[in-house]
Amino acid sequence: AQTVTQSQPEMSVQEAETVTLSCTYDTSESDYYLFWYKQPPSRQMILVIRQEAYKQQNATENRFSVNFQKAAKSFSLKISDSQLGDAAMYFCAYREGSNYQLIWGAGTKLIIKP
């Protein structure tokens, strides 16, 4: 069965610095998608970034970028120039190409120090 592991329950970073959140997954599939979702204290879950497994190029969305290592089954999220509004729980999620269900990690709480 597919699993998603986030080994860092909590991370903290100084405002304006860069932080990397880790995610590893286990799958035997070749066609899948990976996601990073952000859940601020208000609880509304929003999509931060998405990566298609067949794409070699790492996805980037403004200050957010991923390091997708397919062979190592690693999918880390890098946040550059951290801002106070980035404080939230970050969840890594996996979905097979032919399936609909998201498999979620346990989340990493990101704290931004002013």
Partner 1 sequence: EAGVAQSPRYKIIEKRQSVAFWCNPISGHATLYWYQQILGQGPKLLIQFQNNGVVDDSQLPKDRFSAERLKGVDSTLKIQPAKLEDSAVYLCASSLSAVRGGNEQFFGPGTRLTVL
By CB under 8 A, name the binding residues for partner 1: 4, 33, 35, 42-47, 50, 52, 91, 93, 95, 97-98, 100-102, 104-107
User: Please, what is the minimum distance in Å from the beta carbon of residue 43 to partner 1?
Assistant: 5
Q: What is the DSSP letter of 106?
A: -
> What are the tokens at 88?
């939230």
Nearer to partner 1, 15 or 57 (CB): 57
Distance, CA of 103 to CA of 39 (rounded, Å): 16
**Continuous segment of H or E residues that includes residue 99:** none
Question: Is 28 or 98 the residue whose CB approaches partner 1 more closely?
Answer: 98
Phi, psi of 86 (to 5 degrees): -80, -10
CB-nearer residue toward partner 1: 64 or 104:
104
